[in-house]
Structure 1
Amino acid sequence: MTNSKTTLSKLLAESNFSQECKELLSYLPKDRSFFAEYLYQYQGFWYPPNLLEGVLNSQKHFQARDSDIILVSSPKSGTTWLKALVYASLHRQEHKTPLESHPLLDNNPHSLVPFIEAFNFHTQDTSPRIFSTHMPLASLPESIRESSCKVVYCCRNPKDAFVSLWHFMEKLTLKEMVGCTMEEMVSAFCRGSSVYGPFWDHALEYWEESRENPKNVLFVMYEEMREKPEDWVMRIAEFLGCPFTEREIEDGVLEDIVKLCSLENLSNLEVNQKGKLVNGMETKAFFRKGENGGWRDTLTPLLAEEIDKTTEQKLIGSGFRFFC
């Protein structure tokens, strides 16, 4: 329990913020939350104080390069898996036998591909650099929006994303700390008051941008990637300018990467069972089943219907549909 409390203090502490963040918190709209005591609305989306500080810092200091790769998702929408696949694909020439010797065998994907809003984006000096973020499109650092860097957005069915977040919080004892029931959490999620929410607005922004700017933004459906991982890894690699050759495919390089990065394989590695990230979070918290439609084991029909109704309302007139 001590370790959990230590982690939670790092996640939820509201002290030692910059003066800019403190001033913002004093007048931003706020809402009771299942993730922290309060979430604060900034540029149309909701954040706990510590993540808002990270967003402000990245907006102020992150300098994108045209060669950068930015992996984006809402929380619990395939982030860990996407990081592993992209990292392994880009570095496949350096690690030609990935199942025998590879950085992913000894490092959690979040350690290899840092979050922009986690204050450690200065550590990468290779090219291309790979970063990740949960930030909505409009809140990305200006240098990203003005650059030619590639953005890959991974989208997941909202019911599965919600359930994954519920179990993630359970592993971190967050629900017990804030005294949240699933009914309360669904209600907050549906009104948009969730971390980096509203979930639907987040996805729609990137989907529309991918249609307007397909050379720089690729929109990926998590469920489709789970069904045909090799096809989507090839498509992502081609988008990023490092397509797999026929020889690589014949030699099993693509197959090896998919096996190495499978959630089943990653979750069984010692580093992802007993390891911790620099912020103290246990790496095992990032792995569960990752199955399509896994929400059926957790959500009641009534709660699933509540999310479905919100989804229907949010998507009216957009032309976009989530994978069912």
Structure 2
Amino acid sequence: MSMEDEEAIEGEHLLSQECKNMIISLPRERGWRTRYLYFFQDFWCQSAEIQSITKFQNHFQAKDTDIIIATIPKSGTTWLKALAFAIANRGRFAPSEKNHPLLTSNSHALVPFLEYTVYGGRFDHVPDLSNMVEPRLFGTHIPYHSLAKSIKDSNCKIIYICRNPLDTVVSTWIFINKIKPEYLPTLTLEEAFEMYCEGKIGYGPSWNHMLGYWNESTARPEKILFLKYEDLKKDTIFHAKKLGEFLGCPFTIEEENNGLIESIIKLCSFENMRELEVNKSGTFASNFENKYLFRKAQIGDWINYFSPSMVEKLSKILQEKLNGSGLSFEVLHS
């Protein structure tokens, strides 16, 4: 491996030589928060993610009680993790308790990412997850086709959420420019938009990511619950009840009458989580500050950024890519 190849691979000191050799053989393009994205298993990802995903695929053993929160980045991941954790663990932690874990820990710490937190780090470290309290909750951005075989074969539950791609592009662009290394140039909105339209974004193309989970959810609705961020925002109570039913822990009439659902929603709300000290000053795995996870949480903010021609271009791409699938997004005209 040449010196140039070594320097192109971020975090190369954490990677095995086998992984480095594989990475340099992969197609690569300009990255968003790293120098390059690599095309691995039919999706784009960063070099360090390739190793952690491989470790995850080789070692993760799913349990039937596991809950997997699968998402496209910047589509409501932080919120959905909080809701799922609070609903699944309401027997252990009442949302009104002053010592509820969500008041002192970011939801990403309570529902760790498989590819970052659990299987991240050095190539020779494989975690022991056998003693985790059940139900075990994990998060991931990994496309469905690249999930560990044990997840697909077990009776564990997968909750998936996506968002109107126009909002996703804006949210990702703003987020990346806040957390990217100083040695990388600032990404313009036009550059980010073109990269997204070409499918060259982390875990993208995004339409393939969505379709992978969408198609599986239609085939196995008892296995995968497919959500849209916009729907969750518009009727959070309905979807909180739906989450409870899907996870096998439906809310009782007594819980509903006592306002438990509303208490959980308030605890996990954007307004509440944004003001917590852990989300004002804490950090996510030392990679960036938690405060960058909370921006606006609005639907349709893209209208303040995109020109009509940009909206038309992405709308046509989405219509073509999603055609015939039954999955669609409302696009308002600017």
Q: TM-score, normalised by structure 1?
A: 0.92
Tell me the residue number matched to 1:7. none
1:52 is aligned, of 15, 38, 50, to 50
Q: TM-score, normalised by structure 2?
A: 0.89
Matched residue type, 2:280 = Q
1:171 to 165, 171, 178: 178
1:226 is the counterpart of 2:233: yes
Answer yes or no: is the 8 Å Cα contact 2:173–2:187 preserved in 1. no
Equivalent in the alignment of 2:15: 17
Indicate the residue corresponding to 2:40 in structure 1. Answer: 42
Report how far residue 305 of structure 1 moved.
2.4
Residue 42 of structure 1, CA deviation: 1.0
RMSD: 1.8
Over 3 Å counting, the alpha-carbon distance change for 1:34 and 1:280 in structure 2 is closer
Secondary structure, aligned partner of 2:285: coil
Q: Quick one: which amino acid aligns to residue 163 of structure 1?
A: V
- State the one-letter code of the partner of 1:109: S
What is the aligned partner in structure 1 of residue 325 from structure 2?
Answer: 318
Label 1:14 to 1:149 Cα distance change in 2 as closer, same or farther (>3 A).
same
Query: Paired residue for 2:24, among 19, 26, 29?
Result: 26
- What's the offset of the Cα at 1:99? 5.7
Summarize the alignment of residues 149-160 of structure 1 with structure 2, pairs less than 5 Å apart: 149-160=156-167
SS in 2 for 1:178: coil
Indicate the SS of the match to 1:41.
strand
Q: Distance in 2 between matches of 1:294 and 1:79?
A: 18
CA–CA distance in structure 1, aligned partners of residues 291 and 209 of structure 2: 26
> In the aligned structure 1, how far is the partner of 2:209 from the partner of 2:113?
17
Give the Å deviation of 1:13. 3.0
Q: Within 5 Å, which residues of 2 pair with 1:100-249?
A: 100-120=98-118, 122=128, 125-173=132-180, 177-249=184-256
Gap change, CA 1:174 and 1:298, over 3 Å in 2: farther
In the other structure, the counterpart of 1:3 is none
Distance 2:244 2:54 in 1: 31
Measure the CA separation in 1 of the matches of 2:117 and 2:61: 13
Deviations 1:38-95 (A, max 9, x none): 1111111000101112111111111111111101011001100000000001111222
Cross-structure match for 1:73: 71
Question: Once the two structures are superposed, what CA deviation does each residue of 1:109-156 show, in whole Å capped at 9, x if it has no partner?
Answer: 000000111252645611110001000011001111111110010011
Residues 74/106 of structure 1: CA separation in 2 closer, same or farther (3 Å cut): same
Give the conservation status (yes or no) of the 8 Å contact 1:108–1:272: yes
Aligned partner of 1:196: which letter? Y
Identity among equivalent positions (%) equals 42
Say which is worse superposed, 156-165 or 112-121, in terms of deviation: 112-121
Q: Report the alpha carbon displacement of residue 319 of structure 1 after superposing the two structures with TM.
A: 2.3
Instruction: List gaps (5 residues or longer) in structure 2.
Output: 1-8, 120-127
